[in-house]
A = this chain, B = another copy of it.
Amino acid sequence: LKQPLGYRYATSYAGIRKVRKDDLTLIISDPPASAAAMFTTNRVQAAPVRLARKHLSESGGVVRAVLVNAGNANCATRTGDRVAAASCRALAKELGVRIETVIPASTGVIGVELDAGLLVNSLPALVEKLREDAFDAAAQAIMTTDLVPKTAFAETSGVRVAGMTKGSGMIHPNMATTLAFVMTDAGIAPPRLKVILKRAVERSFHRLSVDGDTSTNDMVLLLANGASGIAPRAKSLHAYEEAVGAVLEDLAKQIARDGEGAKKLITIDVEGARSNDDAARIARAIANSPLVKTAIAGSDPNWGRILSAAGYSGVIFEPSKTDVYLQGTKVCRGGLAAPITEDVLKQKLDSPECWIRFVIRGGGTGEARFYTCDLTKGYIDINASYRT
């Protein structure tokens, strides 16, 4: 798969992180790109989130550059707005573009002042380093507690999609900042792009998290710069939307898999609810249950915890018509224990991919899929000392 045309990337160490590891990332689109973004719904919003919203609105959804720093969220600080504005202004000047086409993004600790000088002084050398083949380095430099960089690619009818994300699936996945940047070289107007992004997020990042359980800095940005010369329509537009959705879904799964301390990706399918919405509520309750997540960590086929989590989801269903499957094996039939060979099932659960299937018989056609990860001691290690 080839990279989308018309984008260049650069990274450097600006001294924001304590460890010497690139912490500043620049993504530029040589042709002005159409842009659509979704931001955190947290009541507390970081300065770069507020400024990114403003810029997108002022530019009418046109983006030339994205400047991302890791190591500091630039949130809940005295100088946050000024720092975000100063770095965008300096970058706009350096690139010779309008400031409202520059999107800032930050991730890291909250409540610690970010020194604008660190960013601004790094820009000339950063712009100098811009290259078409530095996509992977960029995916590395935006990481915080991530163990691995996360990228996904697609190509459809001559149009290319390349996505990168950072974030670690957690107990409530979106409490840690999620940043995702998806570059495409299709030609698509901003209003259409917005619809495509919303649907793609619905089947990906929103299936990883409790809606509303967001960090102060979350942002998903989709760019379409038309550098392929192709403006997808009808069937090919549909294929483009599918490609963007698949890339975001792949990225969301990678976040769950790279959950803080996680050893296992857990996929949860709920079927037979009265509506998709009901199915999603049940799936979310199971996905967020620390008791379910620790049971999976221990390869314990404890379906009682799954049934109990569904029971407090707020959705009305008939436990006596409910079946639960682990790794495809029926462990609960009509709300009661199904005969299983525990040793065999335990062994199956030792896999890095676990699958919980929750089926309400005769309930309806509502279904939903959620992604989460198991809960291990590693999570505690990472989070009891993240700040210091």
Report which A residues bind B (CB closer than 8 A): 41-44, 73, 75-78, 109-113, 170-172, 175-176, 212-216, 289-291, 294-295, 297-298, 300, 302-305, 307-317, 319, 332, 335-337, 375-377, 379-381, 383-388
Q: How far is the CA of A153 from the CA of B185 in the complex (A)?
A: 71
- Give the distance to chain B from A339, nearest Cβ to Cβ, in Å: 12
Interface SS of A by simple majority: loop
List of B residues within 8 angstroms of A214 by Cβ: 312
Bound together, the chains give a CA A376 to CA B380 distance in angstroms of 6
* A-B CB contact pairs (8 Å), 23 listed: A41-B312, A42-B311, A43-B312, A76-B304, A76-B307, A76-B332, A76-B336, A76-B337, A110-B304, A111-B303, A111-B336, A216-B308, A216-B311, A291-B383, A294-B383, A294-B384, A295-B384, A298-B388, A300-B384, A300-B387, A376-B380, A376-B384, A377-B377
Which B residues are in CB contact (< 8 Å) with A379? 290, 294, 380
User: By the criterion CB–CB under 8 Å, are B385 and A375 in contact?
Assistant: no
User: Across the interface, do A387 and B42 meet the contact criterion of CB distance under 8 Å?
Assistant: no
Specify the chain B residue showing the minimal Cβ separation from A374.
B384
Partner pick for A77 among B113, B216, B336, CB 8 A cutoff? B336
Contacts of A313 in B (CB 8 A): 43
Looking across the interface, which residue of chain B has its beta carbon closest to that of A210? B312
A-B pairs, 5 with minimum CB distance: A110-B304, A298-B384, A44-B311, A294-B383, A43-B311
Alpha-carbon separation in the docked complex, A42 to B332 (Å): 18
